[in-house]
Structure formats: C-alpha cells, structure tokens
Structure 1
Amino acid sequence: LGQFWALHLVSSLGGASLTSVARHLSVSAPTACASVDPLVDRGLLARRRSATDRRAIELRLTPRGQRIEARVWAQIGVVMDEAVAGLPPGDVAIAVRVFRTLRDRLDAGLPTEGAA
C-alpha cells in the first residue's frame, strides 16, 4: 500500500524529491526510500539527481508506472462500484460529498475553529 501511495504521489505532483515523498506520506526518509526502491527497481519510477540541488534525488513516473497506476485506479473504481451497488443514489451522493469535503479540508490543512 505504501508503494502505491508513493507512486501516486509522484504522479500527482508531476515528480517529487524523496524528501517530499517522505513528508507527504508522514514517514521517515528511510521508510520512504524502502517504498520507492522497489518501484525504481521495477521500472515504475525513475530516479535522478536534482539539477538545482546535487544532494537531492528527484523521482519521476515512467510510462510503465503511469500504466500501472491507471490499472490500480481502474480496479479501485470497480471495487467502489461494487461497494455502493444497491445503495440509494441519494445516500451515495451524500457520501461522495462528505468524502470530497474531507479530502479538500485535509489537503488545505486543519480547518480553522468554527469552520463548517
């Protein structure tokens, strides 16, 4: 699971440093490296030295990594469709709205006190 989120993070950021992956996943740099190394070994991520900071390592999704990520998201979509099958459409709409709101609030950081 950690490997998929590392792959997805690099994809959504259009590339990321190993330090950035660790920070976004709230793990140590060695833990992030342990998730990223197998992805590099399998050709899903490419690693290179930063052009602006020779100490930093930049990660980019490879074409193979893009295909794998798309397949995983497609499978997640199938599982989600099965999970909501038979639920009233109104309930599904409410759940989607709540989860989008939670995602947006988490992406923005902790909400201010009294925010709805």
Structure 2
Amino acid sequence: MSIETRRDVFQAIADPTRRQIIGLIASQSMNLNAIAENFDITRSAVSQHIKILTECGLVVIKQQGRERFCEPQLDKLAEVSSWVDQYRKYWDRKLDTLEKYLAKLQKEKKNAGKK
C-alpha cells in the first residue's frame, strides 16, 4: 500500500529557497543551470526544489532544444492571497478597534486634565 504525497502551494512557499526560485523566474523563464547559479546549494538540491514547485503547479518545465526551462504559473498563488486576506481583514478590524479605544483614552485624559 502506497501513500500518495499531495503537495500544495503552501508547502511550496514554506521554504525560502523555493520562494527565491519563484522570485527569480517570475519575470523570465530560466534554465536549471541558470537558477542553480544563484544558490549556494547543489544543482541536485535545486532540482528537488523545482520538482516540488512543479508538483504544486507553481512551475512548469518546458523543453527548448536540449535545455529545460522553468516557467512560473503564478496564478496558483491566488490561493495563498485569498487565505491571507481573510486574516488581514481580521487584523484590520482588531487594529481599528484598538485605534478607537486609544483615541477614547486620549480624549478622556485630555478632558481629565481640564478639570
């Protein structure tokens, strides 16, 4: 019995090296060697990171002649953005409440000083 490993976008971006790879190829596709030159790890380690990014759907490998180029599929990051947005709204509400409370305290302090 084999257990299938399911990877998701959150696993991909959890690693700083994979985030850097995404940043590198975000504006232009790059071959594996060009990507590996940007890191102080083995080409094999970079390939493993690319494999994970591919499994998550964040990177697609395209063959051009003898070269393999990594192209970003950044639309998958929308899932991350949606998840973060729900918490951003929560913290915005909390911070708005805190701001109102602090303004109220400041007003009370000012009024107490006038007496």
> TM-score w.r.t. structure 1 length?
0.50
- The equivalent residue for 2:11 is none
Identity %: 12
Query: Does residue 31 of structure 1 match 2:49?
Result: no
The answer to whether the Cα contact below 8 Å between 1:18 and 1:57 also exists between their aligned partners in 2 is yes
2:66 paired with 1:62? no
Q: 1:63 to 1:6 in 2, by over 3 A?
A: closer
Instruction: Provide the residue aligned with 1:6 in structure 2.
Output: 21
Spell out the pairing of 1:1-116 with structure 2 (5 A cutoff).
1-12=16-27, 14-50=28-64, 54-65=65-76, 67=78, 71=81
Deviation by residue 1:6-54 (Cα, 9 ceiling, x = unmatched): 1111114x1111111100123221111011111111110110112xxx2
Cα deviation digits, residues 51-75 of structure 1 (max 9, x gap): xxx2211011114256479x4xx99
Unaligned runs of 5+ in 2: 1-15, 89-115
Alignment deviations for residues 59-97 of structure 1 (CA, whole Å, 9 cap, x no partner): 11114256479x4xx99xx9xxxxxxxxxxxxxxxxxxx
Corresponding pairs, count: 69
1:106 matched residue in structure 2: none
> Secondary structure in 2 aligned to 1:25?
coil
TM-score by length of 2: 0.50
Structure 1: gaps spanning 5 or more residues = 79-116
> Relative to structure 1, is the Cα distance of residues 9 and 66 closer, same or farther in structure 2, using a 3 angstrom cutoff?
farther
Max radius of gyration: which structure?
A: 2
Larger relative CO (CA 8 A, sep 6+): 1 or 2?
A: 2
Distance 2:34 2:59 in 1: 15
CA separation in 2, counterparts of 1:65 and 1:59? 15
Separation (CA, whole Å) in 2 of partners of 1:44 and 1:56: 19
Q: Could you tell me which residue of structure 2 aligns to residue 85 of structure 1? A: none
RMSD: 2.5
